[in-house]
Every structure is written in structure tokens, then in C-alpha cells.
Amino acid sequence: MKLVTTGIDALPGVIVEEGAQRYTVRLRIPAGVITPVQMKKVADLADEFGTGMLHLTTRQTVEIPHVTEDDVPALKLALEENGTPIGAEHETVVNITACPGIERCRLANVDSLTLAMDIDRKYFGRDMPVKTRIGVSACPNACVSERLCEVGVTGLLKPIRHPEKCTGCGTCVEYCKEDALEVVNGVIILNNDKCIRCGSCVHTCPYGVITAGEPWYQITFGGKRGRHPKLGRHIITVSGVQTASQVIDILMYRIYRHGISGMLLGDQIDDAYVGIILSEIQQKIPPENIISEW
């Protein structure tokens, strides 16, 4: 697929369709959050400028197919007025994805939506050497497949047990999918080697016996989709959303300055490069915010 360049502007979110002289227009909808009023207007625009069809994409945005080149400028203006402007594709930072987070999900550990919106404001549409996807999941269930993105953020919770209050009911054991908990003599025992800090035991304990401290943010780098998908490499786990944002800034700068065009980021990263990035992060953020041990 190619980008369209109109006489007015270059529009990376406008994609040439196969066979016909028409184009698919991709919208910018950070984390897939859109109001009913905006959605109704998008539907009206699909009727007016397309063929009445909308496509909901895997990256939480919307596409209007079958738009003529002559109609692209007018559609662009209408979308901007609606607060759903034309999105991005190819060697740019594309739509930021996120799960519902603590706003709605009972298993969430962090406010994924607010973080995703902050990332969008800072980086969306920026020209990069490689297509750059960023995903934020509020827990290791990874509902937005953030570890398949070039930059991924996963929210974690470290369980804090209070054995003196434990009734040994076993509810947390039942919900733990990692077999990291067991009841021994009426008390819950945690196997740190198996625990992935998903927070499930914290959220499901009926008596509040298992609590948690400040959430953690696990950052991965260099994931990729496509015909040979690969999980991103775990770079670092930190506490505090501001620290997580600082790590993302470092990673984005690395991609911008050192990424090689025409090659997926996941194919450019090796152990040595990860070591260099980690060393840089450790020099720039407070050591007390780096989670070195479970």
C-alpha cells in the first residue's frame, strides 16, 4: 500500500485501495475512546464520502473505506471538526492502544487510559525510521497485546500478604492462574518464582487480606507483529507513572535516532543493544524507582 499526497498536504492515514481509484481513510482515536456524538458523525461522513461502510481496526481506530481522491480534503476538514482527525500509518507513531484500565476493569492495576492519552499527545503521528506501535495494558492479561508492539507497557502489582489475618479460604488460590499460591496449615503461601505480579489475588481476596503497594510498570521494547511475530524484550520494571513515561521517552528517542528504515524494529534489536538502553535508563532515572527484585 502507498501513501496519498494531495495537492494540499501529505496524509499518512490515507491508504490507496487495491484495484480502484479510491482510498481508505484511517482516523486518529487514541485508545479507541470516542463519544457517541463523534461516532454518529463518523457514520454520517462514511455515508457522505464513502459507501456507508466503517471498518473497526485492530488498533482501536476506525477506517472509512472507498473515498475518492477529490473528496479527501473535505473529509479531512470534517474529521478535524469532529475531533477525530485523519490518523497515521507507515513510518510514524500510529494510534496508541490501551485497555479500559482501572476506570472499568476489575482486574486492572494501573490507569492505562490516562497514560495512553499522554503518550498520544506527545508522540502520535511523529515521523520515525520505522512504524512505531505503542500499547498499554493495565495487567499481564495483555488484552491489547502490548508486548507485540515496538513499545509496550504492562501494569503490575506486588501482593503483600497479611498471614495474621488470613482465614485460609483459598479464594486467591482458585483465581491464581500461575499456581503461585497454596494454603499451608490454614495460611496462604506465595511462591515468588511463579508469581508474575498480575494482581489477581489482590483483586479477588474477599477479606482484603492480600493488599498491594504502588503499582509497577513493566516496559518492553522491540515487539513485532506480521508474518514472524515476536514478543518485545523486557527492558525494565519501574514504579511510578512519571518514571514509566520517562523510560518511554528514552526508548522513543532511541528509535528516532538509531532505528533503521525498511526493517522492523524487532529485527534490529540484540542483547548488546538492550544492554546499552538499560544502562542509559539506569543513569537517568532514580534507582529507588527501578524494581530489581520481585
Decide: 27 and 86 in contact? Cβ < 8 Å. Answer: yes
* Same structural domain, 151 and 219: yes
Local confidence band at 188 (pLDDT 50, 70, 90 cut-offs): confident
Looking at the predicted structure, is the pLDDT value of residue 5 above 90?
Answer: no
- Of 81, 108, 124, the one marking the end of a domain is 81
Q: Round to whole Å and give the CA distance between 67 and 180.
A: 53
Distance CA 149, CA 233 (A): 10
- Does residue 88 belong to any structural domain of this protein? no
**Total H helices, total E strands in the chain:** 7, 14
Domain that holds residue 50: 3-81
Q: Are residues 259 and 165 in the same domain?
A: no
The letter for the amino acid at 157 is: L
SS3 142: coil
Is the pLDDT assigned to residue 173 strictly greater than 70?
Answer: yes
Q: What is the pLDDT of residue 186?
A: 83
| Structure confidence at residue 76 (pLDDT) | 96
Our count of domains for the chain comes to 3
Nearest to 77 by CA among 166, 179, 8, 136: 8
Q: With a cut of 90, say whether residue 9 has pLDDT above it.
A: no
pLDDT > 90? residue 12: no
Domain co-membership, 141 together with 64: no
Assigned C-alpha cell, 126: 511523529
Report the CATH number that the domain containing residue 31 is assigned in CATH. 3.30.70.3340
> What is the average pLDDT score of the chain?
93
75 lies in some domain: yes
- C-beta atoms surrounding 11 within 10 Å: 22
**Is the residue at 87 inside a domain?**
no
Tell me what pLDDT residue 289 has: 96
CATH of residue 194: 3.30.70.20
Question: Which cell numbers hold the place of 107?
Answer: 482486574
Residues 19-68: pLDDT tens digits? 778 999 999 999 999 999 999 999 999 999 999 999 999 999 999 999 99
- The Cα–Cα gap between 163 and 173 comes to 14
Q: What is the phi/psi pair of residue 274, to 5°? A: -60, -40
- Helix or strand run (H / E) with residue 153: strand 151-156
What CATH number should be reported for the domain holding residue 122? 3.30.413.10
Whether residue 150 has pLDDT greater than 50: yes
Which band of pLDDT confidence, cut at 50, 70 and 90, is reported for residue 195?
A: very high
Residue 31 and residue 47 share a domain: yes
- What is the DSSP annotation of 194-245? T-----HHHHH-TTS-SEE-S-EEEEEE--B-TTS-BPPEEEEEEESHHHHH
Residues 6 or more apart whose CB falls under 8 angstroms from that of 203 comprise: 106, 107
